[in-house]
């Protein structure tokens, strides 16, 4: 199939386009490079544009079979301080994108959603029917857009899968692409940069959570596994499969402390760190029940925490030496 990938120059988008290509699909990347990095889309057809620009999208939509929509603002913390940016980019502009899709023959849509739609879960693991009460504008915008997709399924015959990722992490096996965010706020890149001495010592946000070691638990899922789930979601829709929202996680929770310890065990290198106060809005524990992804898409996360840390470490050593 030919797939238009909005945000294909971002972290998850760029890994997904490689999974699409490996599965024999053709890719057109559409990105405004506001947070994406042009280097991540090298080797693919690339169009620079805004998702709100229907006139620019129309001719592209005429020559693709499906859309994968990653382009969004995606910092939880920033969404608390600048919510207008999130409602503008993730809702207002995304509505214009979906209007352009509905004006075209394309009806197959894969959406990059998030576990932030759940807010603070009542229990872990989290399945798709868990209560959805986002605690930040980022999660609220993603949940809103899931409602848009469901409404347009009913009224316009749109067919979609919304993939709710837990914590995307790791780097591509080629060593050519990995996680680049500016500013960087995510745990694993900050920890590895601290290990390389290119960032200050890691601050572990909170040591008094109600978890076995007092630090937060998350479900770190390899970004290439997330990419392969998008391919399976596309193929599920192409085969006439039902529209739905699906969790993407390993089903295993890992604490911040464990990340530091496993990295040390793997490399012999200690991540310089200190404990600090909790970060506002951090739920103590988030990990997925990925049963639906397995049953419906035939997906399972194939890479474990060691694979995540090893691939990310390889990438960061190379990337930091290039940018130093
Ligand atoms: N953390 C630290 N120190 C840091 C950075 C993070 O201790 O310097 C901790 C956080 O408190 C959290 C864990 O590491 O417990 C992971 O934090 P990240 O910032 O890497 O990721 P989040 O869990 O906050 O964010 C992820 C996704 C978002 C999603 C969110 C839902 O990246 O897209 O989960 O809560 F919205």
Per-residue pLDDT of the chain in tens (324 residues, 90 and over written 9): 999 999 999 999 999 999 999 999 999 999 999 998 888 899 999 999 999 999 999 999 999 999 999 999 999 999 999 999 999 999 999 999 999 999 999 999 999 999 999 999 999 999 999 999 999 999 999 999 999 999 999 999 999 999 999 999 999 999 989 998 888 999 999 999 999 999 999 999 999 999 999 999 999 999 999 999 999 999 999 999 999 999 999 999 999 999 999 999 999 999 999 999 999 888 999 999 999 999 999 999 999 999 999 999 999 999 877 765
* Residue 204 Cβ contacting ligand 1 at under 6 Å: yes
Shared-domain flag, residues 194 and 89? no
* Residue 20 Cβ contacting ligand 1 at under 6 Å: no
For 280-309, give one letter per residue: b (16+ CB within 10 A) or e. ebbbbbbbbbbebbeebbebebebebebbb
Shared-domain flag, residues 260 and 158? no
Shared-domain flag, residues 71 and 36? yes
- Given 232, 248, 264, the domain boundary residue is 248
Query: 122 in a domain, yes or no?
Result: yes
Contact 246, 292 (CB under 8 A): yes
Shared-domain flag, residues 106 and 224? yes
Query: 70 in a domain, yes or no?
Result: yes
Shared-domain flag, residues 56 and 20? yes
pLDDT for position 181: 84
* Residue 76 Cβ contacting ligand 1 at under 6 Å: yes
Shared-domain flag, residues 228 and 85? yes
Shared-domain flag, residues 264 and 319? yes
Query: 104 in a domain, yes or no?
Result: yes
The pLDDT tens digits for 179-196 are 988 889 999 999 999 999
Query: 131 in a domain, yes or no?
Result: yes
- 138 as an active site residue: the answer is yes
pLDDT for position 166: 97
Cα–ligand 1 centroid distance for 166 (angstroms):
10
What percent of the chain stands above pLDDT 70?
99
Shared-domain flag, residues 159 and 102? yes
Contact 252, 307 (CB under 8 A): no
The CA distance from 220 to 168, in Å, is 6
Query: 141 in a domain, yes or no?
Result: yes
Shared-domain flag, residues 94 and 243? yes
- Here the CATH number for the domain that contains residue 57 is 3.40.50.720
The CA distance from 305 to 263, in Å, is 9
Contact 97, 220 (CB under 8 A): no
* Alpha carbon nearest to ligand 1 atom 12, residue: 216
| Residue 177: both structure tokens together | 């692409």
The CA distance from 69 to 89, in Å, is 12
Cα–ligand 1 centroid distance for 253 (angstroms):
13
Shared-domain flag, residues 91 and 113? yes
pLDDT for position 323: 66
The residue from 30, 86, 138, 165 that is catalytic is 138
CA atoms within 13 A on the CB side of 270: 4
SS3 24: coil
Instruction: List the domain range (segments joined by +) for residue 84.
Output: 2-169+220-248
Shared-domain flag, residues 14 and 93? yes
Ligand 1: nearest atom to the Cα of 256: 14
- Here the CATH number for the domain that contains residue 255 is 3.90.25.10
Query: 179 in a domain, yes or no?
Result: no
* Residue 38 Cβ contacting ligand 1 at under 6 Å: no
- Given 231, 248, 265, the domain boundary residue is 248
Closest of 135, 285, 273, 277 to residue 210, by C-alpha: 285
Query: 175 in a domain, yes or no?
Result: no
Number of domains in the chain: 2
Ligand 1 pocket mutation, candidates 35, 186, 193, 274, criterion most atoms within 8 A of CB: 186
| Residue 31: both structure tokens together | 């990105």
Shared-domain flag, residues 12 and 67? yes
Query: 178 in a domain, yes or no?
Result: no
């Amino acid at each position: 199939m030919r797939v238009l990938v909005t945000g294909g120059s971002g972290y998850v988008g760029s890994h997904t386009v490689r999974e699409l290509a490996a599965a024999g699909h053709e890719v057109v990347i559409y990105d405004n490079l506001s947070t994406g990095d042009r280097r991540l889309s090298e080797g693919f057809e690339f169009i620079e544009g805004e998702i709100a620009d229907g006139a620019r999208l129309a001719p592209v939509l005429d020559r693709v079979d499906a859309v994968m929509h990653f382009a969004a603002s995606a910092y939880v913390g920033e969404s608390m301080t600048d919510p207008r940016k999130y409602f503008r980019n993730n809702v207002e502009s995304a509505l214009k994108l979906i209007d352009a899709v509905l004006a075209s023959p394309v009806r197959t849509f894969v959406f990059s959603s998030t576990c932030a739609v759940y807010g603070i879960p009542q229990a872990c693991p989290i399945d798709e029917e868990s209560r959805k009460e986002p605690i930040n504008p980022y999660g609220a915008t993603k949940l809103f857009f899931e409602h848009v997709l469901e409404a347009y399924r009913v009224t316009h015959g749109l067919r979609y899968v919304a993939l709710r990722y837990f914590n995307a992490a790791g780097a591509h096996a080629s060593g050519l692409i990995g996680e680049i965010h500016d500013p960087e706020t995510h745990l694993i890149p900050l920890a590895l940069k601290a290990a390389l001495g290119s960032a200050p010592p890691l601050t572990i946000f909170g040591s008094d959570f109600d978890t076995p070691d007092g630090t937060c638990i998350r479900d770190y899922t390899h970004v290439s596994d997330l990419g392969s789930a998008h391919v399976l979601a596309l193929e599920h829709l192409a085969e006439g499969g039902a529209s739905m929202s699906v969790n993407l996680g390993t089903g295993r929770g890992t604490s911040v402390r464990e990340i530091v310890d496993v990295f040390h065990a793997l490399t012999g290198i200690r991540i310089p760190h200190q404990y600090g106060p909790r970060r506002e809005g951090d739920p103590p524990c988030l990990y997925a029940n990925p049963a639906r992804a397995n049953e419906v898409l035939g997906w399972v996360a194939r890479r474990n925490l060691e694979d995540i840390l090893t691939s990310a470490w390889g990438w960061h050593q190379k990337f930091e030496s290039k940018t130093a």
